[in-house]
């Protein structure tokens, strides 16, 4: 048994459309798209937060006069 041919995929798609209907599939697609969009936004927000923290740490490290003197 190999992979499915294009005609098999077409039959599967038709059966799914008959079972669920185009309206329900559109809603599922919309929900899936919103979920992916939200996930990507969360990842980019995390990267931005990390960049801000790195910049703040760099500024603090470069700031002179805040060093403790060891006697």
Q: 61: part of which helix (H) or strand (E)?
A: helix 6-62
Greater pLDDT, 2 or 26:
26
Greater pLDDT, 66 or 14:
14
Both ends of the chain: CA-CA distance in Å? 78
Task: Say if residue 66's pLDDT is above 60.
Answer: no
Percent over 90 (pLDDT), the chain: 32
Domain-by-domain residue ranges, the chain? 21-54
* Structure confidence by residue, pLDDT tens digits, 42-65: 888 888 888 888 888 888 888 765
Phi, psi of 5 (to 5 degrees): -80, 170
Average pLDDT in the 27-55 region?
Answer: 88
């Amino acid at each position: 048994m190999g992979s499915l041919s294009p005609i098999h995929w077409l039959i599967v798609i038709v059966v799914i459309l008959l079972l669920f209907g185009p309206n329900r599939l559109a809603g599922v697609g919309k929900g899936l798209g919103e979920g992916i969009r939200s996930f990507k936004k969360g990842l980019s927000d995390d990267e931005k937060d990390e960049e801000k923290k790195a910049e703040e740490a760099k500024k603090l490290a470069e700031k002179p006069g805040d060093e403790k003197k060891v006697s």
